[in-house]
Amino acid sequence: MKGKKLLFAILALCLTLLVTWLPLACAKPASVPPTAKVIKIGLMTPSTGVAAEKGAPMGHANLDAIKYVNDELSSSLGFTIEPIWLDSAYDAAKALTIVKKFMDDGAVLFGVASSKEMSAVMETANRAGFAGIASFGAPSLYRPPQHIYGQLPDYGDDALAFAGYYLKNIWKGPGKPKFALHLLNNTTGYGARDAFKAKADELGIEIVSTDEHAATTTSERDSLTRIKSRNPDVLYISSTPAPTAVIIKNAKELGMLPGTLVASGHAGMTKALVDLGGADNVEGVYGIFPTVNWNDNVPGMAKVKEYAQKLHPSDVGNMDYITSWSQSLIMVEALKLAVKNAGFDVVAKGDAKAWAAVETQGLQKLSKYDVGGLHGPVSYTPGDNRLARAVRVFQIKKGVITPVSDWVEAPMVKYEDFSWFK
């Protein structure tokens, strides 16, 4: 009897197990998401502080572009990007702390907005072999070339491109045109200074004065009074938008305008200059910029507008946004090449071997990458760490920054061949 009860119990248990587990055994296995493949990059912008009018939209654009890549392109890339973004506040000491954090936290490549940030960190980055890209650059960042790259033509290229345009299209007088330089007292200004120092005689330009100003300046009436006495044909300003606006307002108050032509390097030639200076004050000002503007019909502009309008509508119309959006896309393209050539596992480790792989198998393999037409084609050329080399001349007309020239290719200048260059 006991044996029969035990047998029935065993059969009941088997039936229960059969009813419970058979449907599970016959069902399709649950979809398990693959392990996320992530690569870290560092991004630094002066989003607060004295250059925030440039840095804030640039930081927005960097991160908006990474969101676009992760949301829409990661499946085709085979990996996602983890951005480590930090605000330098345009402070050299903070910038150095930030780049060290990038290295410690496993970033394989870093980008900065300004030449000031990069000049503060380049020694550390070069010594470690940690490659970085500056959106706005000066010759001193990568002449002679090491591990720092310029996304775009530099402030020296601006100066020479505008001088060439002026001589060909505007200058009508006999002799040499007289240029007065007003320069931000860091690499933003010194890049233009060095270019004119290297090439003014060759171009046939006379530099009649060179003045410097701080990013915090509120008046340059004294310096402009001295400049006015030199009767310059051109007042060339290489600075950020806020000081540039101050200088232009003061020049107008002193009666220098419209008799003296005013031109700006690309650090200052953006929507913030119009907003800060006032459309009437900046009307007719010339400048250089290395990207398209918001009205240009190029393939990459649709996504720029879509994400800016959705996430940061106040940045719409700001060419600095286009610059940093493009910077992020270039960094992603370099990572794509590095993964293809060196392997994901090598790149993703975030160590010194990863840095070397990203530089040699990524950045240095860039060839005619067009960034959706947002600026000149991106290629690495041995001996020239500028990744794009094309600029255009613009003029402010009725408050709109309007292109007035075709793209101009900026030739490489070997500044290190001049004894005075440091």
For the chain, which residues make up each domain, given as ranges?
38-153+294-388, 156-289+410-417
Cα 293 from Cα 127, distance rounded (Å): 37
How would residue 3 be classed by pLDDT, with cut points 50, 70 and 90? Answer: low
Q: State the average pLDDT over residues 389-409.
A: 95
What's the pLDDT at 6? Answer: 46
Q: What is the pLDDT of residue 422?
A: 76
What band does 29 get if pLDDT is binned at 50, 70 and 90? very low
Who's near 17: CB < 8 A, 6+ residues apart?
A: none
> Residue written as tokens 């047998």?
7
Asked if residue 280 has pLDDT above 70, the reply is: yes
Q: Is 200 exposed, middle or buried (0-12, 13-18, 19+ CB in 10 A)?
A: middle
pLDDT at residue 2 above 70?
Answer: no
Yes or no: say if 7 and 292 are a contact pair by the CB < 8 Å rule.
no
One fold for 38-153+294-388 and 156-289+410-417: yes
List pLDDT tens digits, range 238-252: 999 999 999 999 999
Query: In the CATH scheme, what architecture does the domain 38-153+294-388 have?
Result: 3-Layer(aba) Sandwich (3.40)
Give domain 156-289+410-417's CATH architecture: 3-Layer(aba) Sandwich (3.40)
In this predicted structure, which of 24-28, 209-213, 291-295, 305-309 has the lowest mean pLDDT?
24-28
**Strand, helix or coil at 97?**
helix
Q: How confident is the model at residue 173 (pLDDT cuts 50, 70, 90)?
A: confident
If you average pLDDT over every residue of the chain, what do you get?
92
Q: What is the pLDDT of residue 151?
A: 98
* 36 has pLDDT over 80: no
Do 122 and 130 touch, CB atoms closer than 8 A? no
Q: Could you read off the pLDDT of 79-98 as tens digits, one per residue?
A: 999 999 999 999 999 999 99
Amino acid at 25: A
pTM, whole model, 2 decimals?
Answer: 0.88
Q: Is the pLDDT of residue 34 over 70?
A: no
